[in-house]
Every structure is written in C-alpha cells, then in structure tokens.
Amino acid sequence: MSTDATRAASAVGGRWSGLGGQTGLLAAGYLVRSVGALALTVLLGRLLGPEGFGQVTVFLAVSWGAFYIAASWVLVSIPALSPGREGAALDGQVFWSALLLGLGGTLLATTVLLAVLVAAGGGVERVLPRSTWPAVAITALALLVLNALYAALQALKRAGGVALLQAVERFFALALAAVTVLALGGGVNGAVWALAAAAVATALLGALGSGVRERIGRPAVTRVALRRATRFSGPLAVSNVAAYLVAWVDILILAAFLEPAEVGVYSVAYQFFALLLGLAGVWVLAAVPDYVQRRRDSPVQLRIGPLTNASALWSAVVAVGGTAAVAMFGVLFGDEFRSGAGVAAVLLAAAALLAPYFAVVPVLIAAGRTRALMWISVGGAATNVIVDLALVQSLGIWAAAIGTVAQTVLVTVAIVLLEFGGRALARVGMAVLPGVAALAVLAADPHSAVATALAGCVACFALVATGLRFRRTLA
C-alpha cells in the first residue's frame, strides 16, 4: 500500500471501525430477516398460490402504507437528534414526541385507508378480504412501536439489538404462518393474522427486553421537542411518501387493473429487489446518526473514486447473485410463478444501480439538504406511477418492472449529478454497466440455458474486474 493510502487509511480508520461495525450488525440482522422473508414467500406462495399470495401482498402494502406514509419519516429524528457523545443518554423528550406524532399520523392514515376500503364496498373483496381489515390497523401500530425501538437503538449505537429484533420478527412470522396456514389450513385470513401477530409479539418483546425503556424515562412531550422533531424530519415526509410509492405503488396499481393471481406473481418477483433495496438502505440507517454527529467537526464529503469502485462491486455482486436467483426461480416458487422470472431479472437490473443513491442519501440528510432529496424522490415516484398507469393495461406486470427501472435510473442520475456533476455520471455509469447488462440478457430469455450461462459469465467477469480494480487502488 502506498504512503498516501496508508495515511488516508489511518485518518479514517477509527471512524470507519465504529460505522462499519454498526453497518455490519445491521446488515447481518437484515440479511437474516431477508432470508426469513424469502422463506415466508416460498411457504405462502406454494400454500396459497398466486391469487392468495397476491391478497396477502395487498394487505402488506396497505398496512405498511398506514405506518410508512404517516410516521416513518418523523422517527428519523430520534437518532439524528440524539446527543453527540457515544453512549450518552437518549433524548427521551425527542423519542416520546416523535412517537406521539407518529401515533397520530398512523391512526389517521389507518382510518382513511379503511374508510376508502369501506367506500369501495364489495368491489375490493377480491383484493383484500374484509376479515383482514382489522389486522391492517393492528399491524400498522405494531410497526410504529417496532420502528421507534429501532430508531432508539440506533441512537444508542446498539445495532445488535436492531439486528436481533429484525431476525426475531421474521422468525415469528414464519413460525406463525406455518402453523396457521400449513397446520390449521387458515388460508389468506390465517396468513394475514399470523403476520399481524408476529409484528405485535416482536414489538412487545422489544419494548420489554431491549433496555430502551430505561433510557427514555417516563413519557414526556414538550413543544420544543415536537418542534425539533418536525423541523428536522418534516422535509423527509415527502421523501418517505415517495419512497413508499416506489416500494408499494406497483402492487396497488396492479391490484386495481389486474387479477390477484397476476399481483401474486409480480409480488414474488419483486421479493429479490426488495431484499436488495433494504440491504442498501442499511447503510443509511447506520450512517445518518454517525454523519450528523461528525458534522460538528467538518462536513462529510464523498469522493468519486471510492464511490465508483463501490458501485461497480455492488453491481457485480447483484449480477452474480441475481443470475443464480433467476435460474432457481421456478424451483423455489413452483411452476405457477414461473412467468415472473423475467420480471425478476428486470427488477434485479434496477437493483444493480442502487449503490450511488444510497451512498449519497445520508450525506444529504446530515448536511440538512433534505429538500434536494425530497424533489429527487418525488420525481422518481412520479415517474414510476406514470409509467405504471400508462403501460399496465398493455404490458401487465411487466409495466410495473419497467416503471421501477425508470424511477431507479432517474433518481440515481439525479443524485450523482447533484453531488458530483456530469463527468462523474459517466464514470459511475461505466462501472455498473457490466452487471446491468448481464441481468438484461437474462431478462430477455430467463428460461434459456444459453442466456443463463452468458449472463453468468458476464457477471463473473464483472466481479473479477472489480476485484482487480480494488487491488490496484490499494497497491
């Protein structure tokens, strides 16, 4: 390693060890949770079929929407506004104020969504059975408590607690779904209530056993804390609504125009994209509180060289894993879902572009540039919705995949241009191109052995080339 590189490594080593450790723990927990989510998808998909799984996915879209749109944004203020000294007491007033705001928003959003379902009448019975509607409110409130605990644990630099709760929640969901659907024959209704019970059980376990209660004290809400929480996280509300639309609007649009069985096929294909989306988002969860605290000394700045290398590595790894996932698609989910393999490849190609976006997002949040992030998020969400609505009747579930690709390209291009300029965009684009190209080849004919072999070769070549690039950088 060169002298300059050695000095640079020494300068950032201490800070990286803390941030890298937090990120590693969060990633481990999310990976366990994601594997559990994949196992749950396989279980429910095979037991309920495309139609039943489509209904379960619509339930998740609505219940997550009630929490995410109304409350997820304000919980960001808990780690971001926590004391700068590691190990210092958590600001209980900020915690309780954020939780109160989230509670009000979640209750309002749940009421509105359920009122819409009631107004729609019997027409939505095929999409979301009435027997599952109470579970929407229960799940949304459990998610609020659970994510408030995640935020508090992040502020306390206890990523291991977050990882454990994430893994436990998915274990509960898998176990309860297996009992209610497999053993008791509960069908869609049993699966939905199993997911709701898993969220409630994990929230109670976290509240009682995570140690957060001792750090936040008794409920205390003040006007000052309410203003601090809303002032900091207010602009993020729009961004989080846009993020929800990106993650779930495809499901709702498809449910409005297509049969539940087609929604189920797309939902299964989307699982791989969702897994990678969440894994990339782990970096934001770990970096935001660290960057906010470091901002007191100097602004956090990214360099285009490391970002390009990281983007190339991410794209290559996604391509290798994605090729294997698409090749195993029919084996995992069964012949009823076989038509979703090509859609999964398209979505994975979009996932290969995610690294630059998630690298820059925590920098913008820490620097208070949330309005720029807000407009980029709105543009991406609008693009997704417009493409979906324009193409869904002619292309079916492929329209949703194309919309996801379009919004991913837009937000990635916008955020690189904002932070680095046009020249950097070309560098990043060339870095991710091999991985994206491999998955595009696979999407054209996902069931062909020739296409699979070609995509695998390109993906492996990209991974080896990225490894050599890192080696040269460290030399």
Q: How far apart are CA 363 and CA 295, in angstroms?
A: 10
Per-residue confidence at 25, pLDDT binned at 50, 70, 90?
low
Q: How high is the pLDDT of residue 413? A: 92
* Structural tokens at position 94: 């900020």
Q: How high is the pLDDT of residue 78? A: 86
Q: How far apart are CA 438 and CA 470, in angstroms?
A: 21
Q: Which residue type sits at 20?
A: G
Residue 123 has pLDDT above 60, yes or no: no
Query: What's the pTM value of the predicted model, to 2 decimals?
Result: 0.79
Residue 2 has pLDDT above 50, yes or no: no
Residue 149 has pLDDT above 70, yes or no: yes
Residue 9 has pLDDT above 70, yes or no: no
Q: How far apart are CA 79 and CA 289, in angstroms?
A: 6
Q: How far apart are CA 78 and CA 95, in angstroms?
A: 6
Longest CA pairwise span in the chain (Å): 71
Q: To which residue do tokens 């969860």 refer?
A: 285
Q: How high is the pLDDT of residue 22? A: 61
Higher pLDDT, 383 or 279: 383
Q: What sign does the dihedral 153-154-159-164 (CA atoms) show? A: positive
Per-residue confidence at 6, pLDDT binned at 50, 70, 90?
very low
- Cβ atoms < 10 Å from Cβ of 217: 14
Contact 323, 459 (CB under 8 A): yes
**What are the CA-CA distances from residue 278 to residues 78, 119, 390 (Å)?**
20, 34, 28
Select from 372, 428, 436, 433 the least CA-distant residue to 405.
Answer: 436
Identify the helix (H) or strand (E) that includes residue 183: none
**Exposure on the CB side of residue 245, measured as CA atoms within 13 A:** 21
Integer-rounded Cα radius of gyration of the chain: 22
pLDDT cut 90: percent of the chain above it: 26
Q: How high is the pLDDT of residue 346? A: 94
Domain segments of the chain: what residues?
A: 15-234, 299-475
* Structural tokens at position 246: 């990106």
Residue 23 has pLDDT above 70, yes or no: no
Q: What is the DSSP secondary structure assignment for residue 179, as one 8-state letter?
A: I
Q: How far apart are CA 162 and CA 147, in angstroms?
A: 9
Q: What digits encode the pLDDT tens for the residues 215-246?
A: 887 888 888 888 888 888 877 787 777 777 77
Per-residue burial over 360-397, b if 16 or more Cβ lie within 10 Å, else e, is: bbbbbbbeeebebbbbbbbebbebbbebbeebbeeebb
- DSSP reduced 3-state for 78: helix
Nearest 5°: CA angle at 27, between 22 and 32?
A: 135
Mean pLDDT value across residues 459-470: 82
Select from 405, 403, 381, 406 the least CA-distant residue to 391.
Answer: 403
* Structural tokens at position 29: 């927990």
Contact 110, 140 (CB under 8 A): yes
Residue 4 has pLDDT above 50, yes or no: no
Q: What digits encode the pLDDT tens for the residues 307-364?
A: 888 888 899 999 999 999 999 898 888 889 988 999 999 999 999 998 888 888 888 8
Question: What phi and psi, each to the nearest 5 degrees, are found at residue 300?
Answer: -80, 130
Q: Please write down the long-range contacts of 122-129, taking CB distance under 8 Å and 24 or more positions apart.
A: 126/55, 126/259, 126/260, 127/55, 127/58, 127/255, 127/260, 128/55, 128/58, 128/59, 128/62, 129/55, 129/188, 129/189
Q: Which residue type sits at 363?
A: V
